[in-house]
């Protein structure tokens, strides 16, 4: 029986790469590189197969996925030879994309109702065993806290009145949870991280996970920082510069949205190395970088007798190619968890996130072991 993957931002680079890649792997045209859940460690975990995933989503844009795929091919993300082979799957997904939220003046409960209807229709029409909503849209600026976020009853009262009480990511999360769908925050946006939405998830018996997938600099940080900690080396500063060209680069160039990201990026270092670490993190929008990103990190540390040493690294990656397989992993794992009866946050998915919900574990290798064990022990 099939499982639905509903992508918020369904016409973006990540979503297009998700649909293209799933089709290409399914057809045996490329190996499942980057897909954690395709490794032998997860073969017995009872996850839905890649060939059981069906795609749909919301987006405010209307460019057909086939056109987006051609653009990504030109940018070096999707091999040209795959375009023809995955055309049918892209068109099928295109059919299941509904208009995204546009900020309006009416009450948000009206918007929510429409989103819920879209999700329900998707599930029912296609006879899906379940649906997982994954937010892969642009990063939002931080949204100010409101009293009504504290509990579900207050929230729903506020949503019934005109005005924006939830940022879009949280409205999508609300709709997903209400519709009985798992929800995953792939971005640092607020999403499901509000007491009222946690209450809703538990009440509806659906799991959620997040936030902000680690695909580059932070991924490396969470692999390296435990090394310094385990060797009793005192990290004095950790400085980073990220050069991004793609859509998210433009978004993060906005200081407000960039702030969301930096906060989320910094959490790992302080969790792993304590608060005494100096240094800033920059996110620069460099349009000629296109779909590519480069991060340079500089670490200053003291060893025995106070001897000062340094480590630097450069990570040169393709954002969509790093992100897309994780979307598949997260959808499969969340669908499996839902089937197993888990509800509320899924801390076992910390392995995927810069700012994992429900846990303070940031050591990458430990996160992997926890993920592996959890997935294989699900009832």
Q: Binding to a second copy (CB under 8 A): which residues in 25-44?
A: 30-36, 38-39
Structure tokens at 324: 């897309």
Would you say 105 or 231 has its CB closer to a second copy?
231
Structure tokens at 330: 């997260």
| Structural contact between residues 11 and 95, judged by C-beta atoms closer than 8 angstroms | no
| Structural contact between residues 69 and 83, judged by C-beta atoms closer than 8 angstroms | yes
Would you say 206 or 318 has its CB closer to a second copy?
318
Q: Determine if residue 205 is left, alpha or beta; phi over 0 gives left, psi from -120 to 50 gives alpha, anything else beta.
A: left
- The strand ranges marked E within 73-221 are 97-99, 130-135, 182-185, 207-209
| Structural contact between residues 354 and 268, judged by C-beta atoms closer than 8 angstroms | yes
Taking CB under 8 A as the criterion, which residues in 316-375 touch a second copy? 316-318, 321-322, 324-325, 351, 363-366, 368-369
DSSP-derived secondary structure for 17-50: HHHHHHHHHHTTSS--TT-GGGSGGGTTS-PPPG
Closest approach of a second copy to the CB of residue 158, in Å: 38
- Binding of a second copy by 82 (CB under 8 A): yes
Would you say 178 or 281 has its CB closer to a second copy?
281
Binding mask 290-319 for a second copy (x = CB under 8 A): ----x-x-x-x-xxxxxx-xxxxxxxxxx-
Give the residue, chosen from 64, 223, 274, 360, that forms a contact with a second copy under the rule CB under 8 A: 223
Name the phi and psi angles at 32, rounded to 5: -80, 50
- Binding of a second copy by 224 (CB under 8 A): yes
Closest approach of a second copy to the CB of residue 36, in Å: 5
User: How many residues form the binding site for a second copy (CB under 8 A)?
Assistant: 75
Taking CB under 8 A as the criterion, which residues in 138-197 touch a second copy? none
Taking CB under 8 A as the criterion, which residues in 276-295 touch a second copy? 278-280, 282, 284, 286-289, 294
Give the residue, chosen from 49, 64, 79, 205, that forms a contact with a second copy under the rule CB under 8 A: 79
- Binding of a second copy by 45 (CB under 8 A): no
Closest approach of a second copy to the CB of residue 358, in Å: 20
247 to each of 71, 187, 244, 331, how far by Cα in Å? 13, 13, 9, 23
């Amino acid at each position: 029986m099939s499982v639905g993957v509903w992508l918020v931002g369904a016409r973006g680079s990540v979503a297009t790469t998700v649909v293209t890649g799933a089709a290409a792997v399914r057809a045996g045209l490329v190996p499942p590189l980057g897909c954690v859940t395709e490794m032998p460690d997860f073969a017995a975990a009872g996850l839905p197969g890649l060939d059981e995933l069906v795609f749909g989503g919301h987006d405010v844009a209307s460019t057909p996925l086939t056109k987006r795929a051609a653009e990504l091919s030109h940018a070096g993300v999707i091999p040209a030879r795959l375009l023809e082979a995955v055309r049918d799957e892209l068109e099928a997904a295109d059919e299941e994309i509904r208009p995204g939220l546009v900020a309006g003046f009416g009450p948000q409960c009206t918007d929510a109702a429409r989103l819920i209807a879209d999700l329900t229709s998707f599930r029912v029409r296609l006879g899906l065993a379940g649906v997982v909503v994954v937010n892969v849209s642009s990063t939002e600026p931080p949204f100010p806290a409101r009293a009504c976020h504290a509990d579900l009853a207050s929230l729903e009262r506020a949503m019934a009145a005109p005005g924006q009480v939830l940022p879009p990511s949280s409205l999508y999360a609300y709709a997903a949870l209400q519709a009985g769908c798992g929800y995953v925050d792939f971005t640092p946006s607020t999403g499901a991280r509000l007491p009222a939405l946690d209450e809703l998830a538990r009440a509806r018996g659906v799991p959620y996970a997040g936030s902000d997938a680690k695909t580059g600099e932070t991924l490396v940080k969470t692999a390296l920082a435990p090394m310094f900690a385990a060797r009793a080396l005192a990290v004095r500063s950790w400085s980073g510069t990220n050069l991004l060209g793609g859509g998210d680069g433009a978004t993060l160039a906005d200081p407000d949205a960039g702030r969301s990201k930096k906060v989320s990026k910094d959490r790992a270092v302080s969790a792993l190395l304590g608060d005494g670490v100096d240094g800033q993190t920059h996110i620069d929008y460099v349009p000629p970088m296109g779909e590519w990103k480069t991060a340079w990190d500089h670490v200053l540390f003291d060893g025995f007798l106070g001897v000062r040493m340094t480590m630097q690294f450069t990570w040169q990656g393709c954002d969509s190619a790093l992100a897309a397989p994780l979307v598949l992993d997260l959808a499969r794992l969340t669908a499996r968890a839902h089937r197993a009866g888990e509800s509320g946050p899924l801390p076992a998915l910390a392995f995927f996130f810069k700012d994992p919900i429900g846990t303070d574990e940031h050591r990458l290798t430990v996160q992997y072991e926890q993920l592996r064990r959890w997935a294989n022990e699900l009832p």
